[in-house]
Amino acid sequence: MRQMQIAAPGGLDNLVMVDAPETPPPGPGEIRVRIRASSLNFHDLIVASRPDWVADGRIPLADGAGVVDSVGAGVEGFAPGDHVVSGFFPQWLEGPDMPGDFSGTPGDGIDGFAREWVTLPATAFTLSPKGWSHAEAATITTAGLTAWRALVVNGGLKAGETVLVLGTGGVSIYALQIAKAMGARVIATSSSDAKLERVRALGAEAVINYRTTPDWGAEVRALTGGRGVDHVIEVGGPATLEQSIAAARIGGHISLIGVLTGRSGEVPTSALMARQQRLQGLIVGSRRHQTEFVAALDATGLRPVIDREFPLDELREAFEWQAAGSHFGKIVVSV
């Protein structure tokens, strides 16, 4: 079978396609899956582009969607022909005992889904939403579930509340769509007026160009009558956190998800304390969260926004397109 690997010492120049032996038939509790699609996340870009990040020969990509080929003894809930999608933390099935690192994450601590076949424990997958293509389903694992956990699991989103999404990447667009499906209002930011028009078309009630309005936290407050938003999808990190705190209401919920502007920086603790806000870091979610999210997708009819699709042998070009920052929604890799 074909699979993409990261050769030592790593970096996009060392992505190589290799022919590997076929995966074995499933043992007890396992399923064998023909992978058909993956999608790119910022985490995948970090893993693939930074030298010495992962072991020599690591197979990248955390997201994987495909078709069950065969099932092992004792497997329940899956049958040959089922469409399935992988989990980001296959070891975190449910409950509060969550992982604190990426040692069990596909494409990082263990091999990922830039390959044609996998044989894994059945618990490493859930069913895909009914009627979704593999390309669509591949967007769930990381981006979709992160947005769901931020707003619904952790945030307790309610109809009538207001959500601020930063940028137009996969998590932010999913958050916009989830918020609208649940009856919330959305304010969106971007540096591109063209992208802001597209988020308006998806249902955002108000938009802000953060380059022309650098004090966008105050603008968000003005747009909400001085109150601020109930939820912030904070994907920027150190350079945007101060404005996110200014944009959120007293007692608001800020989901700290991304590090697009850096991995560390000053936290304006006095402002956070004065506004009595909840700043909560999170990394994706559990298998139980994913099954609940899939049920919600089936119920609402929400479908993801896909920017472009690349074949597996153009994975480097896909990462370069992602790094350029011109995408809107998710970048998909067909396998």
Q: Which of 247, 263, 281 is the last residue of a domain?
A: 281
More confident residue, 298 or 52: 298
List Cβ neighbours of 214 (8 Å cut-off, separation of 6 or more): none
- Please give the average per-residue pLDDT across 78-86, as a whole number: 98
pLDDT of residue 263: 66
pLDDT of residue 222: 98
* Number of domains the chain contains: 2
Give the Å distances, CA to CA, from 199 to 189, 205, 305, 331. 9, 9, 11, 17
> Model pTM?
0.95
Q: Which of 239, 265, 281 is the last residue of a domain?
A: 281
Whether residues 77 and 115 share a domain: the answer is yes
Q: Which residue range forms the structural domain that includes residue 15? A: 2-141+285-334
Whether residues 127 and 149 share a domain: the answer is no
Q: What is the pLDDT of residues 184-212, one digit of tens each?
A: 999 999 999 999 999 999 999 999 999 99
Whether residues 96 and 113 share a domain: the answer is yes
Whether residues 122 and 224 share a domain: the answer is no
Is residue 218 over pLDDT 70? yes
Whether residues 54 and 124 share a domain: the answer is yes
Whether residues 217 and 328 share a domain: the answer is no
Whether residues 181 and 245 share a domain: the answer is yes
User: Letter for the amino acid at 57?
Assistant: G
Q: What is the pLDDT of residues 47-56, one digit of tens each?
A: 999 998 898 9
- Using a pLDDT cut of 90, give the percent of the chain over it: 92
Whether residues 124 and 154 share a domain: the answer is no
Whether residues 19 and 128 share a domain: the answer is yes
User: Letter for the amino acid at 149?
Assistant: R
Q: Is 90 helix (H, G, I), strand (E, B) or coil?
A: coil
- Using a pLDDT cut of 70, give the percent of the chain over it: 98
Q: What is the mean pLDDT of the chain?
A: 95
pLDDT of residue 268: 81
CATH code of residue 117: 3.90.180.10
How far apart CA 55 and CA 98 sit, in angstroms, is 24
Task: Return left, alpha or beta for 28; rule: phi > 0 is left, psi -120 to 50 is alpha, else beta.
Answer: beta
pLDDT of residue 271: 87
pLDDT of residue 330: 98
Read off the tokens for 53.
């990040």
Whether residues 55 and 72 share a domain: the answer is yes
* Residue labelled with tokens 């209401």: 249
CATH code of residue 251: 3.40.50.720
Read off the tokens for 177.
């769509």
Whether residues 59 and 97 share a domain: the answer is yes
Is residue 261 over pLDDT 70? no
Whether residues 150 and 273 share a domain: the answer is yes
